Amino acid sequence: MKHSFFDRLYGGAPTGGAFDSFDDELPNATIPARKEPSERSRGTENRSLPLDDAPSGDEGQLPVDVHQTAGDIVIRAFVAGVRPDELNISISRDMVEIDGSRMEREQISGPDYFTRELFWGSFSRTILLPQEIDVEASSASAKDGLLTIILPKLDKAKQTKLRVKSG
């Protein structure tokens, strides 16, 4: 009799070398072999990305922080090296889209790099907002490479009296 994983886990059955029945149904997965480091990269374990795994020209995703205050939703993102005219920010009542590009100022050939961690190229991010915002009163500023977008929340509880005109 084959005992289940839970029987073996909780001590209801002796452990053996047999697998659970659900393990028998899984297809055999192959794990790709690990690449051996090249001659050039041996001994440089503190490198975060090997040169052959450096980001390509694909679009990157802009990391952001989003928080709220009593009256605003605030979005912050590091955009160091990006001029304000290279940023596009589109906002609607429930979503913000940020896209732009960061271009290398000088061209350096691949073999001349020892470490390459900075992202160069196009980036974008779409943020779904937890609450509707006032699009007209929103603002964006960049200082010291930090983009800050302030989005005032819409106050749905706010009521005004409307006078009917005759006429």
Q: For the chain, list the domains and their CATH numbers.
A: 57-152 (2.60.40.790)
Task: Dump pLDDT digits (tens) for 33-52.
Answer: 554 444 444 443 433 333 33
Q: How high is the pLDDT of residue 94?
A: 93
Region of 34 on the Ramachandran plot (φ > 0 left; ψ -120 to 50 alpha; else beta): beta
Which class for 60: exposed (0-12), middle (13-18), buried (19 or more C-beta within 10 A)?
middle
Residue 133 predicted with pLDDT over 90: yes
Lowest mean pLDDT among 23-32, 50-59, 121-130, 132-141: 50-59
Q: How high is the pLDDT of residue 9?
A: 60
Determine phi and psi for 114, rounding to 5 degrees: -100, -40
| Rounded mean pLDDT, 45-64 | 53
Residue 144 predicted with pLDDT over 60: yes
Q: How high is the pLDDT of residue 91?
A: 95
Bigger pLDDT: 23 vs 75: 75
